[in-house]
Amino acid sequence: MAEKDLNALFLDTLKDIYYAEKQILKALPKMAKAARSDQLRAAFEKHHDETEGQIERLDQIFEMMDKPARGKKCDAIEGIIEEGKEIMDEYKGSAALDPGLLAAAQAVEHYEIARYGTLKAWAEKLSMPEAAKLIDETLTEEKKTDDTLSKLAVAAINAEAA
């Protein structure tokens, strides 16, 4: 068996985040539906649209590499999304639901930020500036989303306490 290199690792990680994005795309409408605050629902809906664009960017990178766009089961995102589902079930009807949904969503964002940060660095190392640029665009969106969620989280905690 040939020794796996950074190129193989980059492709594997690209498949991991591709799988993750598709799971997130499916989870976001459910989270939007569950959200109690209109602002939070709007934030989830907006990020759902952004996620579609992020998947398209990944499609472009697979194409640049002449590889089929294919996901690889990511246990990490499955676990994070599963925890979000538990919160939706267990806190249904509670004022603590939105803070819980926000916590779950921020865990998702942080996972994505970690992955895209790594992928960007590897793309640069592998002399793939076009891929690095696309990854950076997504990374910026994820960070902005995380920032919005942080602000909503403060508002949600205050509303819960009131």
148 near Fe ion, judged by CB under 5 A: no
Smallest gap from residue 110 Cβ to Fe ion (A): 11
Smallest gap from residue 156 Cβ to Fe ion (A): 21
Residues 29-58 that bind Fe ion (CB under 5 A): 54
Contacts with Fe ion, 54-93, as mask; x by CB under 5 A? x---------------------------------------
* Identity of the residue, 16 or 112, whose beta carbon is nearer to Fe ion in the bound complex: 112
Dihedral over alpha carbons 146, 100, 80, 58 (to 10 degrees): -30
Residue 160 neighbours by CB under 8 Å, 6+ apart: 95, 96, 98, 99
* Identity of the residue, 51 or 88, whose beta carbon is nearer to Fe ion in the bound complex: 51
Smallest gap from residue 129 Cβ to Fe ion (A): 21
Q: Is the CB of residue 21 less than 8 Å from the CB of residue 54?
A: yes
Cα separation, 120 vs 109, in Å, equals 16
How far, in Å, are 29, 71, 82 from residue 96 at the CA level? 19, 34, 18
Residues 89-118 that bind Fe ion (CB under 5 A): 112
* Identity of the residue, 98 or 112, whose beta carbon is nearer to Fe ion in the bound complex: 112
How far, in Å, are 6, 94, 119 from residue 78 at the CA level? 25, 25, 20
> Which residues form the interface with Fe ion (CB under 5 A)?
54, 112
